[in-house]
Chain A
Amino acid sequence: MFRAYINGLFPRSEDLIDVWKGLDRGLVSRDKFRDRLIDECRRVIDIQRRGRLTYIHEPQIDWDDIFRPFTGLDGVEAGPLTRFFETNTFYRRPIFKSIVEYREDYIGRFLHRELLEDYGRAVTLPGPYTFIKLSESDDEELSRASIKNIYGGLCSDLKVYGYDLVILHEPALAYFYDVDWDLSFELYKPIMGSGIEYIVHPYFGDVSDKVDELRALSPWGFSIDLAYTNIDEFTPPSNTRIVLGIIDATTTLMEDIEHLAGRVIGFRDRVGIKDIDLTNNTHLEYLPFKIGVAKVELLSRLMGVLGSG
């Protein structure tokens, strides 16, 4: 069975960028900005709904980077600008200063769940392993405890809010050759025990030789980044859900639908996996808005060609 959805932060439109800059310069009122932001969220949701994607993903256009919402919690601060892997995009490195206690309902203010009613809802969060690897602390125990607290609270909130799928961005599991799997399992414990459906989503690397560990991290499935993985040589066990990061969010080159569909069918038939999800490999925000929209439409057309499986 095929499912399709997007993941990660969506790009801001040219118009929204102008309004946002206007807000920064004091030329646009906060109310006008807020209205424009909500309009844009509706627009991003509508693009997915019209594309008949399996889940409607949170736009997350108001997240300054994937970690930023969490730097508002007591005990963690937004640190220096730091390059995000090999991209030309920078994030504020989270710095843990003291043990973070997650406050109930905290993440709600960064989500627009009221706009997602009546749909299957999905949201992307930083994966806990990538979170700890890309953050800073003088005391690793403090970071570990904080991250476990954060994810315990997050999962409870997301269940209450009614999210159906959580995509955990884990580029650190793919990009770095050496992964501390013991640490990964420890950090995933609060998520595993929450009962929430989540996908581990590594990208910026080939995880062909990390399949067993990734399966152990999530009973719901994990992703591969097709910009880094030769799908013809990738053979996972058949009794797992595989998420194909098949829409490349790092290039404006539009994929050929027939070619993609052929690769997906060929992969399914070769490895005998029934449950395959189709999505983008990384944040669509690495593309300008118009091209991000075109990539969502491409995913939708791919789903149309493949049918439900």
Chain B
Amino acid sequence: MDKQDLPILPTQEIGSFRKPGYLIDLWRRYMAGEGVEEELREAIRNASRETLRLMEGSGLDIVWDGEMHRWEMYYHPVTHIDGIEFVGRVRVFDNLYFVKGSVRDRPRLRENYHLEEYLFVKGNARKPVKIPVTGPYTLADWSYNEYYLSKWIKGEPNPVKARWRAKEELTIDIARNIINPILRDLAGHGVYRIQLDEPAATTHPDEMDIFVEAFNEAVRGVDAIVTTHICYSDYKVLLPYMAEIKARQFTLEFANRDTWSRGLGDDVRRGYSLLKEIREYSIESEIGLGVIDVHTDMVEPVELIVDRVRYALKYIDPERLFINPDCGLRTRSRDIGRRKLVNMVRAVRIVRDKYL
């Protein structure tokens, strides 16, 4: 499947989608060690098929199964990597936590943790698919770095340099020894479109060189279209590096920064001001345009989404524009998520029919 087989302004989701209640229960019981592996596998397959039907029914052009095979984007890879040990929960905000790992040895890939799910999704999908894969920089940044830091901290008197070197070494090792082999293997099994998720990309502006080097190492020699999704980030930090990053598409979050007012003016569409700068930087990559705010239950009216897409078309050629939510919809109910996707697809069809 190629982009040529897609309509203009292809619609896609980002990756995660709310799991059905029965699957969440089984995931929790499985992680609590209750020995429900078989039931969980069956539930995953059911939920995966249900979610694919939901995505296809929404009218999306490119689909995934909402990451039913994964508990979460960090936990899933780390359970398949030797050298990183889970050490406990750390707060993200309020009463929300993630289980954080600590790198205690050089990370080693146990097996391609995405192959089974890809083969299942590919075998069950009726539309082109895109597989999301957590990127090397995010895996490194969301882990404690004991192994490499212990090496550098002894020989380097400047603690900032020691931490930078340790982070660089860890991230490049993950890129070369974990992510690149996975991407190559996926491409060898016919994967056409891979999305490297890098929400941590701009967290440390001084480490952008590490991020770029790791990304390009991860995709080296991969015979597939590789895109990247970067959200809730400082895009001003990202902009000067975009041309160096070997990604066919930057799938970005905009709606979260925008107003809910109708119109095509800069004031109401201020969430999309980055697009002007992308044009000024002569970035030639495709842009995945976030038009749905995933952190509210309010469903965007079709007309608002039409305005957001039309505004984007002032700066990005339609051949380079994909339309998607800001991020995965896992924090919304399945019904709200579906309604948001349906409106997004309706809006894009209106733009295709009336404005192109």
CB neighbours of B102 from chain A (8 A): 252
Q: 1/0 contact trace for B304-325 toward A, CB 8 Å?
A: 0000000000000000000000
List the B residue with the shortest CB-CB distance to A91: B93
The answer to the question of A131 belonging to the interface, with a C-beta cut-off of 8 Å to chain B, is no
**Choice from A24, A86, A291 contacting B87 with Cβ under 8 Å:** A291
Would you list which residues of chain B between 127 and 162 have a CB under 8 Å from chain A? 141-142, 144-146, 149-150, 153, 157-160
List the A residue with the shortest CB-CB distance to B90: A288
Cα distance, A230 to B100, chains bound together (Å): 28
**Choice from B90, B145, B153, B203 contacting A286 with Cβ under 8 Å:** B90
The answer to the question of B92 belonging to the interface, with a C-beta cut-off of 8 Å to chain A, is yes
The answer to the question of A17 belonging to the interface, with a C-beta cut-off of 8 Å to chain B, is yes
On whether the beta carbons of A14 and B93 are closer than 8 Å, the reply is no
On whether the beta carbons of A20 and B95 are closer than 8 Å, the reply is yes
The answer to the question of B200 belonging to the interface, with a C-beta cut-off of 8 Å to chain A, is yes
On whether the beta carbons of B100 and A288 are closer than 8 Å, the reply is yes
Would you list which residues of chain B between 62 and 113 have a CB under 8 Å from chain A? 87-95, 97, 100, 102
How many B residues touch the partner, as a band?
20 to 34
On whether the beta carbons of B144 and A252 are closer than 8 Å, the reply is yes
CB neighbours of A86 from chain B (8 A): 203-204
On whether the beta carbons of A289 and B157 are closer than 8 Å, the reply is no
B86 to chain A minimum Cβ distance, whole angstroms, is 9
Cα distance, A299 to B95, chains bound together (Å): 28
On whether the beta carbons of A11 and B91 are closer than 8 Å, the reply is yes
- Given A88-B203, A251-B144, A206–B94 Cβ distance below 8 Å? no
CB neighbours of B91 from chain A (8 A): 11-12, 89, 285
A233 to chain B minimum Cβ distance, whole angstroms, is 8
- Chain B interface helix/strand/loop/mixed: mixed
On whether the beta carbons of B142 and A251 are closer than 8 Å, the reply is no
The answer to the question of B114 belonging to the interface, with a C-beta cut-off of 8 Å to chain A, is no
On whether the beta carbons of B93 and A65 are closer than 8 Å, the reply is yes
**Choice from B88, B142, B203, B232 contacting A289 with Cβ under 8 Å:** B88
CB neighbours of B92 from chain A (8 A): 88-90
On whether the beta carbons of B90 and A230 are closer than 8 Å, the reply is no
Q: 1/0 contact trace for B32-46 toward A, CB 8 Å?
A: 000000000000000
The answer to the question of A232 belonging to the interface, with a C-beta cut-off of 8 Å to chain B, is yes
- Given A12-B91, A287-B90, A290-B88, A88–B150 Cβ distance below 8 Å? no
- Given A12-B91, A206-B160, A251–B100 Cβ distance below 8 Å? no
The answer to the question of B163 belonging to the interface, with a C-beta cut-off of 8 Å to chain A, is yes
The answer to the question of A229 belonging to the interface, with a C-beta cut-off of 8 Å to chain B, is yes
List the B residue with the shortest CB-CB distance to A9: B91
On whether the beta carbons of A251 and B160 are closer than 8 Å, the reply is no
List the A residue with the shortest CB-CB distance to B163: A227
CB neighbours of B200 from chain A (8 A): 88
List the B residue with the shortest CB-CB distance to A84: B93
Give the 7 A-B CB pairs with smallest separation, nearest first.
A288-B88, A90-B93, A252-B144, A253-B146, A252-B102, A86-B204, A64-B94
20 contacts between A and B (CB under 8 A): A11-B90, A11-B91, A17-B89, A17-B95, A24-B95, A64-B93, A88-B90, A88-B92, A90-B92, A90-B93, A228-B159, A230-B158, A252-B87, A252-B102, A252-B144, A287-B90, A288-B89, A288-B90, A288-B100, A291-B87
